[in-house]
Amino acid sequence: MIGLIQRVRYAKVEVAGKNVGEIKHGILVLLGVEKDDDKLKTKKLSQKVMNYRIFSDHDGKMNLNLQQVKGELLVVSQFTLVANTQSGNRPSFSSAASPQLGQELYDYFIKCCVLEGLCCQSGEFGADMQVSLVNDGPVTFQLKV
């Protein structure tokens, strides 16, 4: 499972011109699910995203996590994160989860975050989405479990 996280000042996701999720200060996470992923890995990644210290403290150092700054979370599914791009000019998606498993673990990731008390918005699994954001920093990290 891969989570590409971006510290944002603002982010939103639209499907067919309709706003389906929007946050202010917080983290946009693009979530890629692989075929060998399970609920344990999903829970571990959700904890890592929530606790990853990418927000500045009073000294300007990245020392605070999402909960400490009372930030919001926007979760967007992105199966292209798990593509194998090592050979040729076309990505291979052989390691990607099936749509059923991907949807199940995407929903579980969101549930894990909500149960921790986070303000969590999301995109629409499997949809053609348009994501807009203002990356703060820019600060972007790839987390893998």
Phi, psi of 114 (to 5 degrees): -65, -40
Q: Name which CATH class applies to 2-144.
A: alpha beta
Give the integer Cα–Cα distance in Å for 134 and 27: 11
The 10s digit of each residue's pLDDT in 81-123 is 999 999 899 999 999 999 999 999 999 999 999 999 999 999 9
CA distance readout (Å), 123 to 21, 27, 84: 6, 14, 24
Active site annotation includes 80: yes
Q: Which of 6, 42, 55, 79 is catalytic?
A: 79
Identity of the amino acid at 95? S
Catalytic site residue 140?
no
Domain range annotation of the chain: 2-144
Q: Give the pLDDT confidence of 25-57 residue by residue, as tens digits.
A: 999 999 999 999 999 999 999 999 999 999 999
pTM, two decimals, is: 0.95
Which of 6, 42, 78, 121 is the catalytic position? 78
Given the residues 68, 80, 85, 130, the one annotated as active site: 80
